[in-house]
Structure formats: C-alpha cells, structure tokens
Amino acid sequence: MLRLRLPRRPRLPRAGRAVRGLGRHRQDVREPADRAVHRRGAERWGRGGSRAKHRSSGQAGRGEAMSRRLLWLAALLAAAPALAEPAAPISGRSRVIDGDTIDVDGRRIRLWGIDAPEGAQQCARDGRAYPCGDEAAEALAALIGGAEPRCEPRDRDRYGRTVATCYVTRAGVRVDLAAELVALGWALDFGRYSRGAYEREEREARAARRGMWRDDEIEPPWEWRRARR
C-alpha cells in the first residue's frame, strides 16, 4: 500500500511575536522623536523664561533711570527761583578783617577776583621784613573810609563766606574796592577766579612800583598759604 507524503507547509512565526517585535521596532523609532520634542519644548520654555527675566530686568532699569530723571528735574525746578533771581545786594556799616575780607552789616564777605596778603604774612623790602598783610588791611580800610560799602554777591566759598564785588561811592562815582586795592599794589589779580578781570590794574601798579611791587620779591598769597598747609 502506497503512502503519499504531502509537502509541509512553511512554518509561520507566531502572530504575538510578530506584533511584539513590530511594536518594539516602532517604539524604538518613536522614543527618540518624543525625547527630541520634549527637549525642544524645555529649551523653548527655558529661553522664554530668560527673555522674561531679561525683559523684567530691563523694565526695572528703565524705571530706575526714569525715577532719577524725575528727581533731578524736581531739584532743578526747586532751585530755579534761586538761579533766576540774583542775590540781593548787601550794604551797611563795615569792618575790615584783612586785605580782602570785610564784614558788612554783620555778614562776612570775601572780595571777588583778588587775593591780598594774609594777616600773618611777612614781606621783605630792602632786606627787611615787614607785615604786608597788615599794610593791605590798612589800605582797604582807607579806601572804605566812612562810607557804607554796597556788595553784590557772586558766589560762596568753601568757608561759607559770601564772595562779592563791593563798591563805595565817592563824589557820585562808584568805585570797585577790589580794583582800587590792586591798583594800589596791595592785592593781586586772582586769575584762577577772575579770569583776568584786574590784570590791567595789576600791570599799572607793577609799572609804577606801588605797594608790594616795591618789595625785594613778591610771594603771592596763594603760594604763601600753600607752603604753610
């Protein structure tokens, strides 16, 4: 009796294994993309946070700058009346303190634009010392005489004194005390502040050898003070 052998059908893989394998393959493909998307989202949020911080810090900086401008403007407006209106003239009975300082109506005033020998300053003439500071003060007192000076404030120095140009009136003519003192040779033009306002009077006094210009050598008051600090 003959037996027929039929060819075996090819063996197929189990469906479960195929699906699981395919699932693993798809999962392997998807996971990097998911991680990339997550990473891009995190970076986007991070950049957004940085931009927000930058914007907030920038706004704070602009706010501080605006506050400073407003404070500066308020201070300027508060000072505007003082800047717009010159200080009132000072006049009255006077007392000489030194060659370039007087008291007028109880207020200490420094003559503007000149520098006279200090009270303790000594000068030399013909080889002999003499108190040129006292001489300058006496010359200023003689210029004022019995008149009441009228002083026009210009500034205030570091000692709190009013710096002013002071005048006396003689025969109807207004005389600048500082200019007269320089012309007599008992003060020098203080170019650091006057910008040469009394250079002409100083040249005339030097040419005529008046006051200190007769001395053996002139030590400017500002140099005398600097040497003794």
**Catalytically active residues, by annotation:** 110, 118, 161
CA end-to-end span of the chain: 144
Work out the number of other CB atoms within 10 angstroms of the CB of residue 202: 20
CA torsion, points 107, 222, 205, 171, in degrees to nearest 10? -10
Q: Which two tokens stand for residue 68?
A: 């400073």
* CB neighbour list of residue 68: distance below 8 Å, 6 or more residues apart: none
Name the residue among 97, 142, 95 with its Cα closest to residue 119: 97
CB burial string 91-129: b at 16+ within 10 A, e below: eeebebbbbbbbebeeeebbbbbbbbbbeebebeeeeee
* Rounded-to-integer distance, Cα 205 and Cα 185, Å: 5
Name the residue among 185, 191, 229 with its Cα closest to residue 207: 185
Q: Which two tokens stand for residue 122?
A: 């000594």
* Rounded-to-integer distance, Cα 219 and Cα 228, Å: 13
Q: Which two tokens stand for residue 48?
A: 């957004």
